[in-house]
Amino acid sequence: MKLVPIISVKQGDCLAKNILDFDGRILLKEGVFLTRAYLSRIENLKISSIYIKTEQSKIESNKVIKFQPQQENIKEFFNDSERGSLNSKNTNSNAKKLLNETSSSFKSIETTTKNIISEVKKREAVMNSLTSIYKIDKYTYQHSINVAQYSLELGIQLQLNQDELYTLCIGALLHDIGKILIPQDIIQKSEALTKEEFETIKEHTTKGYDYLKGCSEIPDSAKTIVLQHHERMDGQGYPNNMKGEDISRFSKIVAIADVYDAITSDRPYRKALSPNDAVEYILSNADTQFDYEIVKSFSKAIVPYPMGTLVELSSGDVAVVTDVFHNFALRPQVRIIQNGINTITNHVDDTITLMTNLHIVIQRIRYLA
């Protein structure tokens, strides 16, 4: 089976896991062949992805898809983050055992992140705000988590101290909190926004800042991130057309993490960029949109294919990333777990170092259950 965005599911696909409501009742049972009516019902429930049966996987699972917009479940997400990789967005559950093979440099990052997350979980205002985001828009919630993870990686690369990383994490988690105050028909629109709608969306920076302004539990520097994360180095950003050194360093970090996650995520109105292309986009906009020095650190810190990621190679093979090289994150070491149709030289369980096998590249990330 594989996890498929709802916009990519086709009529006739077979549901691989039960879909449940808030109370645990089955809304749609595993094994059902999806019709147009079923797909419309799933979309109306705001479910972004579902598991579909495929011929490639014989793995059976008792897991179900369930609505859980409760604070306890957001805390459980953090518990999972502590146990796993920073880049949990692209990490497959079957491959998490491979995290034990992490190199010492990534172990230190994981340890630091664990400590930061433990502190953030104690902040009731942060958890309540995340719950509000989850209830309003699941994409924005997941995006906020991803941006916090990427921001922490970048902050660690920049050698921020523990207190600075803590503030950075809170600001990154809440950078889009203002979107709970924007009309939801605009936030959840499945098409490109009109000019007028985009102007309304831009208000989430000031609305979010005002929303948090009176909360003493949130550090002022974190609130500044909420206000400034769409400012640009060249002064063409919003809401205040700030430029250069007038923009806080934390805001510059989150700005990069925000754009990177956004352009590597599928949206109804556009396809995601590959991690390679996304990195190139960030690099090409250094000094205009992003801070040049922070971009240089970003290119070293961000790991597009963290250990445990399932990937499809240009050879057609499916592999799992088993090691990442510090200055060559786009060309990790992988272990073949499934041969492609036209594979001649590689075999299941073969380990390949892409840094030395330059004729093989990663084509895309695979999302298998």
82 and 196 share one domain: yes
Question: Of 282, 301, 320, which residue sits at a domain end?
Answer: 301
The answer on 317 and 289 residing in a single domain is no
Looking at residue 60, its pLDDT comes to: 35
Least confident of 117-121, 157-161, 222-226, 352-356: 117-121
Q: What's the whole-number mean pLDDT along residues 61-85?
A: 42
pTM for the full predicted model: 0.62
- Do 197 and 297 lie in a common domain? yes
| Better-predicted residue by pLDDT, 142 or 96 | 142
**Looking at the structure, do residues 35 and 148 belong to the same domain, yes or no?**
no
Kindly tell me if the per-residue pLDDT of 206 is higher than 60. Answer: yes
Judgement on whether residues 48 and 62 belong to the same structural domain of the protein: yes
pLDDT higher than 60, residue 270: yes
The pLDDT of residue 345? 66
Task: Identify whether residues 84 and 155 lie together within a single domain.
Answer: yes
DSSP class of residue 353? E
Compute the distance between CA of residue 295 and CA of residue 282 in angstroms, rounded to an integer: 7
Same domain, 276 and 324: no
Specify whether 323 is located in the same domain as 356.
yes
- In this structure, the answer to whether residues 62 and 118 fall within a common structural domain is no
Same domain, 183 and 207: yes
The number of domains in the chain is 3
Q: Is the pLDDT of residue 294 over 90?
A: yes
Burial class of residue 255 (count of CB atoms within 10 Å of its CB; 0-12, 13-18, 19+): buried
Query: Which pLDDT tens digit goes with each residue over 311-346?
Result: 888 888 889 888 888 667 778 899 998 887 766 567
Residues 176 and 203 in one domain: yes
Instruction: Report the pLDDT value the prediction gives residue 105, as an integer from 0 to 100.
Output: 46
Q: What pLDDT digit, counting tens, does each position of 1-59 carry?
A: 565 666 668 888 888 877 765 445 677 888 888 888 888 877 776 665 677 776 544 33
Structural domain range at position 81: 71-301
Beta bridge partners of 320: 310, 335
Answer yes or no: do 212 and 130 share one domain. yes
**CATH number of the domain that residue 8 is part of:** 3.90.105.10
Mean pLDDT over all residues of the chain? 78
d(CA 247, CA 249): 6
